[in-house]
Amino acid sequence: MPTSIHTIKAKLDSHLGDPLTVVAQAGRKKITKRRGVLRETFPAVFVVDLDQHQNNFKHVSYSYTDLLTKNIALEFDDEAEKAEA
């Protein structure tokens, strides 16, 4: 896992447009998984367009510090396929 916000943003920039799953801590012993596509990165946050069949809203944004502090985890589909091969 990258150890700075700059390296996290650089890695996400290379995955723009890629499908992913966001795994977020939603409380004590509760995890939510949302499928979507990484749409945009900004200096402090990134935006994920969510799958409309599974979610009630179109977009969600997270800060890079959420990844740094491990409040969320991102699982890119192309990385999962490489791990299975």
Query: pLDDT tens digits for 55-83?
Result: 778 999 999 999 999 999 999 987 654 44
Tracing tokens 């599974």 back to the chain, one arrives at 54
Say how far apart CA 49 and CA 61 lie, in whole Å.
Answer: 9
Q: Which of 79, 75, 68, 81 is nearest to 31 (CA)?
A: 75
- Candidate CATH numbers 3.40.640.10, 2.40.50.140, 2.30.30.100, 3.10.110.10; the one for domain 5-77: 2.30.30.100
Domain edges within the chain: 5-77
Q: Classify each residue of 27-45 as buried b or exposed e, where b means 16 or more C-beta atoms within 10 Å of its C-beta.
A: eeeeeeebbbbbeebeeee
Task: Name the residue type at position 42.
Answer: F
Q: What is the pTM of this model?
A: 0.82
pLDDT tops 60 at residue 47: yes
